[in-house]
Amino acid sequence: MTAELIDGKAVAARVRQEVADGVAELVAQDGQAPGLATVLVGEDPASEVYVRNKRRACVAAGMVDLHRRLPGDASQQQIDEEIGRLAEDPGVSGILLQLPLPGHLDPDALIDRIPAGKDVDGLTAGNAGLLAQGRDGLRPCTPSGVARLLDEYAVPLAGAKVVVVGRSVLVGRPMAQLLLARDATVTLCHSRTKDLAAEAREAEVLVVAAGVPGLIGRESVRPGATVIDVGIHRTENGLRGDVRFAETRGVAGLLTPVPGGVGPMTIAMLLANTLQAARWQQNRTNELRSSQCSG
Ligand SMILES: Nc1nc(=O)c2c([nH]1)NC[C@@H]1CN(c3ccc(C(=O)N[C@@H](CCC(=O)O)C(=O)O)cc3)C=[N+]21
Ligand SMILES: [Mg+2]
């Protein structure tokens, strides 16, 4: 068997076009384009690349790029104040604090300064709680990108055995919650899991977000399974994932490549979240206006 490849670039291009259409509609309605504030602290080279790509995608979708850069030695209070200003600014639809932050900063406290309605990364305790309770909110971009890929390739989730490897706040935990909300039977594995390969082999859908290069190979994959590789590592031989691609391709039914799989979807879903946030803010503004008129 040779797995069919999931074309994340193609799906991401479709999502980005949908977002661009939605942005044009919003601009026609109230003359204001959504604005995305990416906040980058310091100069981690990988973060520079991601933020640059996010800003480009934002402009390409017709949104306003409101980038903020702070020095690597910025204090907790300085960043707190910057996020506070963006939170108050009606021109800012979404705020994204790029992670990881320099070691002297407390990321949780800063993330929770972002109002839930502008939290386009879906990382605040508020949005994580809404997701855990199965209520509407902004979802983390990588997990929602994975869900969209699975939908586009018509991978059944209801009742399916899904194994997620990795329990990070950015990917693994929200991924498990999102799949649970889609009625999958979800197993969440991590670095302390006993016999990871045996757990993973049970999966009809295997989502790998461990951050360990080449962690998963043929010994861990059920024949015909759908394998989603969220890992991304810069090596001498180019970008690699958490999955050993060539050997896994011989066992899996559907497989994401790295690059060109999940990565482009993360950015596409960020744009989709920013549009969603702008629509909610527009609705709230209109409700306020009409209540002032009638009241
Ligand atoms: N607050 C926050 N939100 C994030 O969403 C976030 C973050 N911090 N920190 C780092 C991770 C990583 N991440 C990626 C985004 C795009 C690609 C992407 O576009 N990948 C391309 C390749 C791009 C390249 O050449 O490096 C691909 O896989 O095809 C990958 C990874 C977002 N992250
Ligand atoms: Mg882990």
Instruction: Give tens-digit pLDDT for 248-285.
Output: 999 999 999 999 999 999 999 999 999 999 999 999 88
User: What is the 49 CA–ligand 1 centroid distance (Å)?
Assistant: 8
Return the number of other C-beta atoms located less than 10 Å from residue 140's C-beta: 28
Residue identifier of the C-alpha nearest atom 11 of ligand 1: 99
Average pLDDT of the chain is 97
pLDDT at 3: 98
pLDDT at 286: 87
- Name the pTM for this structure: 0.96
pLDDT at 194: 98
Quick one: tokens of 287? 């409700």
- Active site annotation includes 17: no
Q: Which of 98, 177, 276, 281 is catalytic?
A: 98
- Active site annotation includes 121: yes
Q: Has 232 been labeled as part of a binding site?
A: yes
Architecture of the structural domain at 31-115 = 3-Layer(aba) Sandwich (3.40)
User: What is the 167 CA–ligand 2 centroid distance (Å)?
Assistant: 5
User: pLDDT tens-digit profile of 71-89?
Assistant: 999 999 999 999 999 999 9
pLDDT at 4: 98
Architecture of the structural domain at 141-263 = 3-Layer(aba) Sandwich (3.40)
Q: Which residues have C-beta within 8 Å of that of residue 176, sequence separation ≥ 6?
A: 164, 167, 186, 188
Is the CB–ligand 1 distance for residue 259 below 6 Å? yes
In single-letter form, the type of residue at position 165 comes to V
Q: Same topology for domains 31-115 and 141-263, yes or no?
A: yes
By the CB criterion, residues less than 5 angstroms from ion ligand 2 are 166, 190-191
Query: Which atom of ligand 1 lies nearest, measured to the CA of 8?
Result: 29
User: What is the 50 CA–ligand 1 centroid distance (Å)?
Assistant: 5
Is the CB–ligand 1 distance for residue 107 below 6 Å? no
Q: Which of 119, 121, 229, 242 is catalytic?
A: 121
Q: Where are the domains of the chain?
A: 31-115, 141-263
Q: Which residues have C-beta within 8 Å of that of residue 73, sequence separation ≥ 6?
A: 102
Is the CB–ligand 1 distance for residue 267 below 6 Å? yes
**From its phi and psi, is residue 248 left (phi > 0), alpha (psi between -120 and 50) or beta?**
alpha
Sites in the chain below the pLDDT cut of 70: 294-295
Name the residue with tokens 């640059």.
52
Is the CB–ligand 1 distance for residue 193 below 6 Å? no
* Ligand nearest, relative to CA of residue 165: 2
pLDDT at 295: 54
Is the CB–ligand 1 distance for residue 232 below 6 Å? yes
First-to-last C-alpha distance (Å) of the chain = 67
